[in-house]
Structure 1
């Protein structure tokens, strides 16, 4: 009697009916009475479950019906137990919908059953991102994004190397490439794995120069999602711009961070994020002021645990925190290396507008289509303007200026150079500010000059420091009234966000780096004008001395960081541009004689043969000075000789530079480079390296031997350095005619077709070529090695490279070589293996 065996088991009332006669004691697990009782209980249980499931399925079906009204009933169940049951049934339904390949239905159902607060988030983001302020602060007029948005040219990949070159130099290089060199990607598809990539994409890094359209891409992506047009498998998108994150000084958890920046998330429990697909967008890595210490920061896995913003970010990016979330990071190229490569699954490059997209932008932006066509024609007539139109912000600047000037038939000369365009833009913004905020139509030269001088001082001092964003104390040091600068909405954009109990403040930046450089150049000229009044009659003009010094300064900059500043300074030195700025300059400080002296000095520097990139900038500088004599000289020479090709043509170093500049700035895209059209000399090849790099296809017999630098005839620093690097590598590894590979290795992702037929690289040369092929950024699809003395050793290196990077090479020609039986067998195996893309083997 004292044992537990004499007691009945407790009744489980939640199982339903307990009306059975409890006086009948079960006689054991096999008792017929117990079995009948269980059958009865589970039959009733089955009926109840089926009934609830049917009811919920009907509810789900109703939600997915085209006739369903969003504003109709939305069950609010206060019974926590019943609510939990419905949650389980939803998970089961979603699981089986996906099992039967109805993923879209599953996503729609899950979206419709999201908490109301998160649907509010989606609506808020839609309201926020449906309008755009092009280059303007919130004080400016906005337009509907969908009405003026022009698709951007976005491509996969890009090398993992840091590019510290000036961004306009990068833009000019991009503009030379044929569009067939890269595979374009739609902005909404950036999280789709690329061809041959099996691993799902969690983190995407999108690179692009300032003003190229990264932030607008983010805005369009969010808007399309919020409007239900794309990426509906993503349930929540949380924009987290670095400009906002920089200003948070306190420790907080990831949940708190979201709650502060997106108040709708306060009702969400941390476990809810496991059930939904979440995307975090970190826009503007280049503006990040956090250390992002990936190596020393503590590991963090709990979204409710507090830490600094820096620790939260590094753990999110490494995947320790919220590993199921998708991450999108945007950055200028020079800052992209802050993210460890192993943390990035896919790299995209925003290339701005290609040529058809430029035209489309102007036709969308300008309502009068006849005027739009005239503007497009004018922009196309100036290669420097048309190249800059790769940058959407510059398209906006050009549209702002040209619509006003060409539409109202003003007598002023229509801008043909960058300096003229930016000068008119500054005048327009100054007039706009005077009319809008002072109710006047005449500019007060003294007040306008004072404000612009202060802005220019800020631009110049911050440019010297390499800063693109600044704070209130930076403005105050330059004598700028924060309230005054905010009304120059097109020139200086105010980024401000009310904080929710956090230490947020104001951040300032110019709408684009080029605007900052223009104002910096104007400041330099205005300062010079004030300091040198009355000193222009001496033998060596102070103005000429200033400009020559700035030319030397730009040439000494390896990365071209003063290139555009120099172009603007030279352009502003012209009397015609100074006349436009009358009232700002104390006097005109220019003359045709001094301009010619400056142009002659630049041509002297071109003859001294700096690197191709520096020569190209010097030609743009000559264009700003309206001097095209070197280009005309080459044109006249070629016309006189009637040369259709340049084989055997002897050109001076300055003429070579002019020819390269003309080829790179031709309206015809450089799709194919044939060395046979040119003089097959060492000098010719070195001179034409920029053209080879810009071409999609390179072919021709290279008839020169690798020599030690002391045997080379070149006498300039750049050419000696180029030949030293090349000859060292070639002498050690090739000992034959093979100059192409070092050139290609510097830019492997653009070349698709390489024809080296009838050269003699031998096995050492093919080994070097194999290092190019195994580079993951190499996209070479067709390789011609006919008669190249390739033996078994070279063939083995080639096969090893193809195994390392199997995704791209489709055609390989090894005719008239000796790969041996083993090499043929291994190559044939690659041809038959579906893992490799090789389709044609000769």
Structure 2
């Protein structure tokens, strides 16, 4: 229990004095609780001699308290000859963590070396004063009586209450007068590191994006918290000054405000600082301009009635005061090294610059602790001014967890938060940029405004360019000290960025930056860092991330009156495939040509005349690259950034079809696609094949899908609850060239719903569904559909594992139309989980007239179901396979049989010979192949005895057999085992018996359906 906070809470309540004594008059029975209650007094009063004596005693009692001795031996802090209060604090805290026995041993030795201290600790009055002396108080009991301490406390509490009232709220960038939000509703833990990053680390981080960006940060950097800023370092020293540096918009001032608020609220630095004071460099500038002299007390941001208390604390216990100086880089004056009239005391008026210099150097209030926030561009100058020892830390913005926490805090509605964050994560450029708190705020604000207008989250996100322009405007307005002409700065930054992009350079030395940007101290968009080179240090610069460099490079092109350089750059990208690093710049170029963005640019003095060149280039690109998926997707992103509906409609009209095949589309890609398609009155043809279209993306694209005249669609991970969205997206009366429902576990009811919707289309191509279990009902759905709908091909694949185990007839059903015939395929996938085991599984395909296959399908599926319960190559298995192979011979007008099994054995050769003698049968094709439940395909062996038996057989005229698989080339001791199939002696062969080439129906069939099935699971 924090007794300090307990007493603060009782101060203003009636009868508080009566409640004080019971809290402090007695100690609890355990030694750890004794140490906890007396913690402040121990820290204040244990001297060097007594501490050393206690530690010596602990060292002599190794057998009695090994935990404490191990702690002592490991902790270098406590082995220093000079004992400080921070070292005592460290020891006491470790003892409390070690438990009751360690604390008891400590108290025992303390009683031997300092009996008076232990007696005082049992004194209720002194214990009472201990609780009221303030966190980590150093007031000596001999000079300050308990009554004096208690009399001071109400004033401290009132000061804290005043600080809470002043600092608990913040105004956001778009707030009107009187509007504010609670700081606790906005502040999110920031990534603060205590290391100087290497050149390679910075460059690698700048070039990564999305989850990779945040993942690298989490791996490389260990974040510290603000309560660790004043802990002892490796040498046992506690820093007198801490630099908290960070780039513009990264949260330095928010962090400073949160520190003083948390202290006043009782949750931070309670045992370390009795007073935390805030000093603003912006206010220093105002005083300096007026030319008035001020005192140290004048600069402190507290109500006038608390000045006496502040003065008393600064005089009597300065080592317990933290001065928080916010915004050193914003100072508009130079701090003089020497002055004829140095600052003498707290109340004597002096020049402002002299006071600030004296505080930083420690020539006044040398025992006070300092925490100074600054941009990295001024950190080197600050480091030279500060008193020692100094700790340097850097705010890197949000970690990935921090971004998530900020969205959660900003978007109170959980569902909305998940949708908004999910949408942002799919846009890698935007998601990476959210490590900057101000970008995160802009994005969340955009989403919230759209939510309040009841606009779908999927349509809420502005273009990436518009977010970046908002960012520039905010930094120029709120983070550029006294910058009256932003246009020259932005153009010089653009020039630097463009030069770096052309050279694929993300880090710049000081000389190259100074040759372009004049005043580096006022630039909020560049990061500065120091690099050690042998015996020297070198200043280096970079943009906040590569995406910001790409944006400024695009901004550079808007400043050209003559757009020839833009045309050259666009032509260069079109002519050379290796210029992909310029594509993000071009995308930003289109975004800067958006009408609303152009207006925002005018607000800061910039103009954009790129619209005509950009439009001409994109139309030409569409005409020349209409069939290339990757180029098509980039083109759509450019059109989306332009966001000009009429032009997009004209540009899209050039394409008679939009097709994406095997290119995973992110949510951001789907927004782009939806926008561009909705600009079109009709959509002639759209194909999305193997593009990772999940249910949420399907719902997003529904408006566009319904408008398509011809549609090919593959959807992943569809549940029964999502089937309604699929049916709605298909609509009616269109040409459905392809429908694949992949990685899904549909029930028979869902299959029926989909087939009903498919049957309402004008024409149907291929249909592929994955189901929980293939039952007789599933097979009947397939039959009825093929009778009523002229689909080209219908495939049903059952999911592997438990749901597709005992209850499933087979692993796969396929029906394909071949003129007046149908091809029927049934497959049972094998188990090849063990590399040593022989694989199992069987696939059988037949071609027969459409009028015959109904009874055959039911019979085949039932016979295949029996195989699923038998062990491969067992007598029972062979018996059922023999019966299955004998059945087709009784089917009239059978034209073709295709088989797949692991190996061509003698038994399989006998079955093939029996089949080839079936009346009307023209061809048997055997493929030594097996597909396991993971849909992984492996080619098997054609064993020599099987080949020989077939070659010696009497094949009726006009009939043929084809064998495909691996054949061992050795003359003797040929490979027979499945695991030997990858040896170099095996080669892939195709054998015709007799040697007459026939139409390879099985190969075509197998290639087509396996291409689809291999991505199912």
Same fold by TM-score greater than 0.5: no
Task: Please say which structure displays the higher CA radius of gyration.
Answer: 2
Structure possessing the higher relative contact order (Cα contacts under 8 Å, 6 or more residues apart): 1
TM-score range normalised by the length of the shorter chain: 0.3 to 0.5
Give the alignment's TM-score, normalised by structure 2: 0.36
